[in-house]
A and B are shown apart, each in its own frame.
Chain A
Amino acid sequence: MQAAETIPIVDCDVHPMYERFDDLAPYLSAGWRRHFEDRGVRTYARARDRYNHPNKTYRVDALPERGGAAGSDPGFTLATHVVPFGITAALLLPQQPYGVTSWGNSGAVYAYLAASNDFFRDAWVSYDDRYTLAVTVSPHDPPAAAREVRRHAGQPGVVGIQLLLMDKMMGDSSFDPIYQAACEIGLPLAVHQSGSEGCYYTSQAVAGGVPRSYGERHVVLTQVGGANLVDMIVSGTFERFPDLQVVMVEWGFSWLGPLLARMDLFWERDPAAAPLVKRRPSEYVREHFTFTTQPLDEVDTRRERAALFGPDGLDKMLLFSSDYPHYDTDDPGFVIRSRIPAGIREAVCYQNAVRVFGPQLLRGARP
C-alpha cells in the first residue's frame, strides 16, 4: 500500500472502539461502575434479532494482531490505515456509544458518554495528532448534552460533536440547547446512522414499511438522512442557528440533487406552506450541510460519474471518508485515485473538511 496522493487527506469516518468496559472505569464514579456491572452495557443499537448481518460487519483484515475487536488498537489503525494511505487527519466517530439509543436511563447514558468521550481523548487523541474526535451526545436530555458539549470546549483534537438520533428528527426544538452549545464553541455536528433505524418505536424509520432483510433495508436507509435534512430546513433551524454546520456521515449523497430540486420547486409554488423557510431551501443545504463520500455509489459509465458529482455546489459539500473498519469500507487508495474526479480531489480530500472543522483538524500534518 502506498499513499494515494501527496495532498493532505482527511478521513471523515473512522470508528474506534475501546477494548473492554474496564477501560472506561477510571472515568466513572464508583456508583456508576457498580451500576454498569449490575445492569450490563449494551453497545450496539441495531436489533440483531430483527436485522442480522449475514457476514461480518467489520473487515477481518482490520482485526488487530494483538487481539481485540477491529478498531480497538490506535497503534494498529495508525500503522495499517492512517500511515499507509497518507491520512493527515482521521475523524473518530466512536460506535459503541450508539447503543445508548436503546437505553432508557438518561443518567446512565450521560455517565457513559462522558466516560467514553474522555477515554477516546486520552487513548486516541493524545496517542497521535492525526486522531481527532467528535464527542458523542444523545437526545435523552438535551441540557445535559449541552453541558457535555461545553465540557470539551477548546480541548485539543476535539473537532466535532457526534449527535445520536432517536425518534425525533433534527428539526425538533428539543435539540436547540445542543445546537446552541455547538454554535457557541464553534463545533460542527456529525450525524451517523446508529443502526437503530427501522428497529424501534424509539428510533426513526425508512419510508413505506418494514424492509425484510438487512440488504434491502440498507438500500433505503439513506432516506432517514434526507428526512432529517428536510426537517431542519422546514423547522427553521438555520434561521435560529445561522452558524450551525451539519456533517452527514455515511448517508450517501446521490439522492441529494433530486431532493433539493423538489424542495425548491414545492417551496416556490407555495412559500406559505413552510413559513419558517425564508430562503430557497437548497441555499440552506449548500451553506450548512456536508456529506461524506462513503459508500460511494458504484457507477458504470463516465456519464454517470459526471452526473454523480455534477449537482451545483456539490464539490464544496463532499468530505472523503473510509468507514474504517466496517465491511462496506471505501479503500482510500482505490477510491481517491480512481473514483474521485481529479478536479475536485483536493476539495474532497481536505479543503472542505478544513473549512467545516477548522484548521486545527490538520494539527497532525507533517511538514
Chain B
Amino acid sequence: MIADYDRHVAVGDYAELFAHMSQSWRKHFERDEFVGSVRDAAAHIRLTDRFGDEVLAGSAPDPEIGLSLAVPHQGLTINGWADQVAAKAFIEALNSQSEQVWADGQGRRAAILVTPHDPAWSARVIREHGAARQFAAVALPLSPVLLGSDQFDPVYDAAVEADLPLIVHFSGVEGHYLGAPPLSGGVHRTAYARAVLMPQLAESHIASLCFGGTLAKFPALRVLFSGFGFAWLPSLTWRLDREWRTFRHDVPWVLKPPSEYVFEQVWLSTWPVREARAEWESLFAGSRAQSRVVYGSHDPFDGDTVADVRAILGSSADGVLARSDVLSAVTTGAVA
C-alpha cells in the first residue's frame, strides 16, 4: 500500500468554514478583507511572488495511493497571524472541515491542526479529535520557539497518548511575516530565496528536539518534517554528532549520539524528490538514512507523482512508497 503523507486541501471560499463556526465567530470573520484573504492563505505554501492565482483545492490521488494524509495548509498560516485567539477558532473550523469533508477514515485521512501558541489548548484538541478515524496525525505550525522547548510538552504528551505522529510542514510565511519563524541570515526579499532556504528550518528544529532532550523524554514521539526535502539529512547528522561529542557534558540529557534519536523518531518527506537525485545514490539507497524517508507528493503544488518518485529512487522506491511506520498501527491496520 502506497502512503502519501503530504497532500494539501483548501477551501476556495471561507463561507465553507463559517458553516462549522458558532454564529458569533462567523460574524467576526465575515468581514470583506478577511474573506478576501482566502487566496493569500491558500497561496503562501507555493513560495512564489506570483500574485492572483486561483485557489487550488487539491487533486484526486493517484489510484496507486492507498492512504493519503491531507494537511490543510491554510491552517498552517496562522503562524503569521497577529490574533492567535481567532486563529484557534479558525483551525477548529478547518478540523471540522477535515472530519466532515476531506477525510473519510479510510484511504483519506487528515492531520489535526493545532497551534504552537497555546500548547494546553492544543493538547485538549488532540485528545478530542484523536480517536476519530479521520485523523492520522497532528499538524503543528512553527513558531519562533524551537521545538525542543518544554513549553510544547503538553502537545507531545497528547500526541503520544493518541499515538499520532506530529507533522511539521512550512506554511510559506516563515521568513516573511513578522512573528513567524525567521529564516537564516537576514531578511530575504524574494520568495525564491525563501524557498531555497526553507529546509534549514527543519534542521534547526531537529537540532533542538535532540539537544533539548525532547526525543529522549518522549521516546514514543514520532515527528515527520514534511515539505523540507531530505538530501541535507546526512550533513546534519554528522554535525549533530560531532557537536554532541564536544558538548555532551553541557547537554547530559542527550543520552546517545543525536543521530540515533533521528534514526528512530524523525522522518522526512520526499518533496521535491528531484533535488535529491545525487544524494539518494551516494548516501541514502541501502543505508540507514533510507529508513527516514517517506513519500510526500506535496500535491497540488508542483507535486511529485508516484512515477516521479520511482524515477529518482529507482529500486528503493517501493520501500519508501510503502513506508508506514510513522503512522500508528491503528491507522495502518484500518486501511490494510
Residues of A whose CB lies within 8 Å of any CB of B are: 54-55, 167-169, 204-216, 218-220, 222-224, 226-228, 230-231, 234, 252, 254-255, 257-259, 261-263, 265-267, 269-270, 273-274, 295, 297-299, 303-304, 306-307, 310-311, 327-328
Contacts and interface: CB of A to CB of B under 8 A. Distances in A.
Given A54-B247, A220-B203, A228-B185, A297 B197 contact: no
B104 interface: no
Contact of B186 (A54, A168, A327): A168
Nearest to A256: B235
B184 A227 contact: yes
Interface in B194-245: 195-197, 199-201, 203-205, 207-208, 211-212, 229, 231-232, 234-236, 238-244
B246 interface: yes
Contacts of B186: 167-169, 204, 227, 231
Contacts of A258: 199, 229, 231-232, 235, 275-276, 279
Nearest to A218: B243
Contacts of B212: 212, 216
Given A207-B201, A230-B196, A254-B235, A215 B246 contact: yes
A213 B149 CA distance: 12
Given A212-B211, A273-B48, A297 B184 contact: no
Contact of B207 (A167, A216, A228): A216
A327 B182 CA distance: 30
Given A257-B278, A261-B231, A261-B277, A223 B146 contact: no
16 contacts: A205-B185, A209-B146, A209-B204, A211-B146, A215-B250, A216-B148, A216-B243, A228-B185, A257-B278, A258-B229, A261-B277, A262-B229, A265-B275, A269-B302, A273-B192, A274-B192
A212 B146 contact: yes
Given A261-B275, A261-B277, A328 B246 contact: yes
Interface in B271-300: 272, 274-279, 282-283, 287
Interface of B: 48-49, 142-146, 148-149, 181-186, 188, 190-193, 195-197, 199-201, 203-205, 207-208, 211-212, 229, 231-232, 234-236, 238-244, 246-247, 249-251, 272, 274-279, 282-283, 287, 302
Contacts of B188: 169, 227, 230-231, 234
A168 B187 CA distance: 8
A299 B240 CA distance: 12
Contacts, number: 206
A207 B148 contact: no
Contacts of B185: 169, 204-205, 223-224, 226-228, 230-231
A313 to B, nearest CB: 12
A224 B184 contact: yes
